[in-house]
Chain A
């Protein structure tokens, strides 16, 4: 049976302290690498190496995703033990900043995703500090074809759809989601919404949807944790606790994707050319 063991590293990063966060990552790497069963892919949340509400700290903590940066070098080195998804503030060669997540394996960067949608409303101010990512791509790993999206990217329906059509069978979603909304019993409104959406993606795409959220506080914002894995049938198969740090390990059975899609051939029957044609019409009408 084709399966892999996924680790959800639901951590509490320290705001602006890359060195402390690097150590925290290494602790989770050690736990995941010595876990039984051994973790194949360990996933950290959005901006896991830097903290979330960086504001003017962005330029101080932003890094190039290369071995020249000591923290990134440590991550690359750790990726020889197990594959990693890490989050960080990225600076490019021209001094532009991005909210990025990298898939690392065997000491190399396999894929880099730059957050496409930057929330700049209500409690969010990301557009003030970061530039927009411009692409959504699935990518091949030694376990299968994955996609990575960051937080607001998957509040929009199009990036998960694109990753699916580009071949992603496992959708990796990372976030630093602040908890809010008291209207429902048992969980925060924000948790309820994210869980509903992720379950829907899993069911609509017949894919695994792995969501890793952070926990802890930044100036009164509570990051609610509650990381989840939904299987291709839309069933919840693993969930980390709300509000606390945790390493949650679960098996992802890639064969289940084929079985689900045989029963429900939504991918086979999807007609992206209709989508494209209609999108072109909508865009041309809008510009006209």
Chain B
């Protein structure tokens, strides 16, 4: 594939520069809205390890509350890896088992499949984050990366819920580069990414693709503005391109707020245009 070498260059970041921008970003956006603290779910994966490190560097470790929210089937490795991140940064943490919160719903609706159960767990974790947010006046920091957001690999109002997201414009392979620079423990960087919603689940297995490959394609389609036809011409397999672009398209609803029916001459989300920063 002709374009491949070039695409690896496109995905390469200067992690020190990115670290600087994102520290400034978090400090600014958290303090601008009148907060000093942050709340973040730490799963044991590389995304939340990076986001937690960034926010600890931005506002001070003592101002961060890291939450470990396991379900009874969660992997013990995940819990241990999350603890390694917490210990390395010295951030305060709480561990709350969500099993007794979600099991009653699963018992009430017993035919629930794994996807629906996973969504319930993700949304239950969100409920805990936002409760802790209100309790300690800490802003909820999101941990969805650009690959996940584009492919729609996340739960709407669940793990996608957050007030600010420092890594939403970094592809998974770029998050890994940043993780290495930030000193995230190597096993966390190396292990197969997983939502850990059921035993043996991996992102790449579930989606049927590898991050390395899809990130190359996405950077071409999204950042370099290639059409799918041009991406195929550049050497990507047609079926793969079509499937990925379809995932991006059909999941676009997750990246947008609810659609409001326009009736008046000035409608929220249509022609009532102010930045969120306007409010502060």
Binary contact readout B216-243 vs A (1 if CB under 8 angstroms, 0 otherwise)? 0000000000000000000000000000
| 7 tightest Cβ-Cβ pairs between the two chains A and B | A55-B273, A219-B275, A217-B28, A185-B14, A182-B13, A56-B273, A15-B277
- Which one of B12, B20, B272 contacts A56 once the chains associate, using CB atoms below 8 Å? B272
Binary contact readout B1-39 vs A (1 if CB under 8 angstroms, 0 otherwise)? 000000001101110011011001100110010000000
Give chain B nearest CB distance to A229 CB in angstroms: 23
Contact yes or no, B17 A55, CB < 8 A: no
Give the dominant DSSP class at B's interface.
helix
Give the dominant DSSP class at A's interface.
loop
A183-B25 in contact given A57-B274, A218-B277 (Cβ < 8 Å): no
Binary contact readout B263-280 vs A (1 if CB under 8 angstroms, 0 otherwise)? 000000000111111100
- Contacts of B146-183 to chain A: CB distance below 8 A: 174
Instruction: Tally the A-B contacts, defined by beta carbons under 8 Å.
Output: 53
Complex formed: what's the CA distance from A57 to B13 in Å? 35
Give chain B nearest CB distance to A34 CB in angstroms: 28
Q: How large is the interface on A (under 10, 10 to 19, 20 to 34, 35 or more residues)?
A: 20 to 34
Please give me the residue from chain B that is nearest to A12 by CB atom. Answer: B28
Q: Give the interface of A toward B (CB within 8 A).
A: 15-16, 53, 55-57, 179, 182-188, 216-220, 222, 242-244
Contact yes or no, A186 B17, CB < 8 A: yes
- Which one of A15, A185, A216 contacts B275 once the chains associate, using CB atoms below 8 Å? A15
Complex formed: what's the CA distance from A243 to B24 in Å? 8
Give chain B nearest CB distance to A97 CB in angstroms: 14
Contact yes or no, A56 B13, CB < 8 A: no
Complex formed: what's the CA distance from A253 to B32 in Å? 41
Please give me the residue from chain B that is nearest to A56 by CB atom. Answer: B273
Contact yes or no, B278 A222, CB < 8 A: no
- Which one of B14, B25, B272, B273 contacts A222 once the chains associate, using CB atoms below 8 Å? B25
**B32 contacts which chain A residues (CB < 8 A)?**
217
A243-B21 in contact given A183-B12, A217-B29 (Cβ < 8 Å): yes
Please give me the residue from chain A that is nearest to B271 by CB atom. Answer: A56
Contact yes or no, B278 A15, CB < 8 A: yes
Contact yes or no, B10 A183, CB < 8 A: yes
Give chain A nearest CB distance to B17 CB in angstroms: 7
Contact yes or no, B9 A216, CB < 8 A: no
Contact yes or no, A218 B275, CB < 8 A: yes
Interface centre among B25, B32, B274, B277 (most CB of A within 10 A): B277
A16-B14 in contact given A217-B28, A217-B29, A222-B21 (Cβ < 8 Å): no
Contact yes or no, A53 B14, CB < 8 A: no
